[in-house]
A = this chain, B = another copy of it.
Amino acid sequence: MKILAYRQQAKEALRYWLRQRIARRYPAQHLPPAQWHLAWEEKQGTEQAPRLMLQGHALHALAERYGTPLHVVNAAQLQANLAGFQQAPLCRVYYSYKTNPIPGLLAYLHQHGAGAEVISEYELWLARQLGVPPERIIFNGPAKSDRALRWAIEHSIQAIHANHLEELQRIAALAQTLGKRARVGLRVTHGGWQGQFGLSLAQGEAAAALAWALKHPHLEVVSLHCHRGFLIRTLEDLDGHLAPLLAFCAESHAQHGWLPTLLDIGGSLAIPSVEEHDAATTRRLWTFYIPPSAPNPALTLSPAAYSQAAQSKVAAFYQSRGWPLPEIALEPGRALTGNAQMLLTRVLELRHAQPAIHAVLDAGISIARSAREQFHQLFPLQAHSRPTQLYRLVGPICHPGDTLYPAWNLPQLALGETLAIMDSGAYFTSDASSFAFPQPGVLAVLPDGEICWWRQTETYQDMVAADSLPLPPETLSW
């Protein structure tokens, strides 16, 4: 036992020494609250530490009043992101529902002119519930039910995108049964996602499927769709994505006189303030407790720059050939909603350890897995002037995988203190499970400062609502 303890201590001492050296070489760069239009409260001359403010609301007060964990949506940011995508008149936005399928948020986007990109029967049902007109719905995804396809064909939605010839054949057969012409598009790939996703341009699958579809009396081929898969950050990324699509348009025009009236360039635009941890960062984080640095937001195209660049590129290509301009469909997900939402959380437990104090949060991987794998700025909701301390921030689940921030420097934390995990507007709610804890609600702060619940916090009763309880539920005091 004692030898083990000495060995452990020697190992820790070595790691500590290495850590000091590495930490000096990699000082963590953080982003300021202004990146999200947040600001610290003006000093009131009181003893209270300044609080982080959003549209006149102290986020700490929202956490106290509505409980944690809690998603807070900044609707003004949502509107600004959407307006950016809409700046190029040729471009129309179809929001990727799966990214953040909160009906209140979707309805807000629809009110401001966004359409719906859906990938399942459920999402199509939701778009209908929200009153999205069929011509503003695009239906993607590898698993379209017959029932959903029938509705889509009968109501002539904007486009049904087929991933492969077998799917195209199924759509054609359904359209024939209904005595309709289905508005379809080809989903193609050029080196990104493959497998079940799309027809290869390089291997001629796309050309063969187009030739087949153009001849079918029950298909109207309106669209060409491609989703890059890998994130787009720069003009070069965007150009590399568009070039093979435009080349295919030229080929198809030469061969069949066919051009898409809808050129759907998919999603994939990155969130400027979020970045996947690379292998070196991951190793430094987990082995040596070196906090990660923020990406430089200026290196990622803004929604406005992205849509304008896409429009210029496509318009130049089409106009130089004298072709009529297409509608450019954008399917932004993370870039539209990612940075318009944050997750408020609270410190439940503190355990002193070396080199980092372990702080147990009420948010863990079951509701915030992305924060483990990507850089997400973290703010304390009150600016205490206490000395800084290294923390490992973990979730509430009884499993060591439930670690969100392996290392992060913060002013000394007290039990009950609140924090904000930024950029929770992409894949946090859609990926969430009710693992031993209820899921957070979603509270919207509207541009005029009004607050409304978009999704209620899950209750214990909700968690067993679909269950056959063998005993009559008692009314419990908590």
Interface residues of A (CB under 8 A from B): 1, 4-5, 8, 97-98, 101-104, 107, 119-123, 125-126, 128-131, 140-145, 147, 151, 163-164, 166-167, 170, 193-197, 201-204, 229, 244, 247, 348-353, 358, 360, 362, 366, 392, 394-398, 400, 403, 430-433, 435-438, 441, 452-458, 460, 462-471, 473-474, 476, 478
Tell me if A's interface is mostly helix, strand, loop or mixed.
Answer: loop
Some 13 contacts from A to B, beta carbons below 8 A apart, are: A98-B435, A102-B467, A120-B396, A122-B460, A122-B463, A123-B436, A164-B351, A166-B349, A166-B352, A452-B468, A455-B467, A457-B466, A465-B465
Interchain CB contact under 8 A, A469 and B201: no
Nearest 7 CB-CB pairings of A with B: A143-B396, A107-B470, A456-B466, A119-B398, A120-B436, A141-B398, A103-B467
Indicate whether A430 sits within 8 Å of B436 (C-beta atoms), given known contacts A247-B1, A456-B466, A473-B129: yes
Interface centre among A101, A351, A392, A432 (most CB of B within 10 A): A351
Indicate whether A433 sits within 8 Å of B430 (C-beta atoms), given known contacts A103-B468, A143-B349: yes
Q: Looking at the complex, which one of B104, B163, B478 makes contact with A151 (CB distance below 8 Å)?
A: B478
Q: Looking at the complex, which one of B119, B144, B353, B462 makes contact with A465 (CB distance below 8 Å)?
A: B462
With A and B bound together, what is the CA distance between A255 and B476 in angstroms?
A: 44
A61 to chain B, nearest CB (A): 21
Which chain B residues lie closer than 8 Å to A142 at the CB level? Answer: 349, 360, 394, 396, 398
A134 to chain B, nearest CB (A): 14
Indicate whether A143 sits within 8 Å of B360 (C-beta atoms), given known contacts A430-B433, A431-B435, A436-B119: yes
Indicate whether A470 sits within 8 Å of B104 (C-beta atoms), given known contacts A119-B397, A460-B122, A465-B462: yes
With A and B bound together, what is the CA distance between A131 and B471 in angstroms?
A: 8
With A and B bound together, what is the CA distance between A5 and B123 in angstroms?
A: 36
A186 to chain B, nearest CB (A): 14
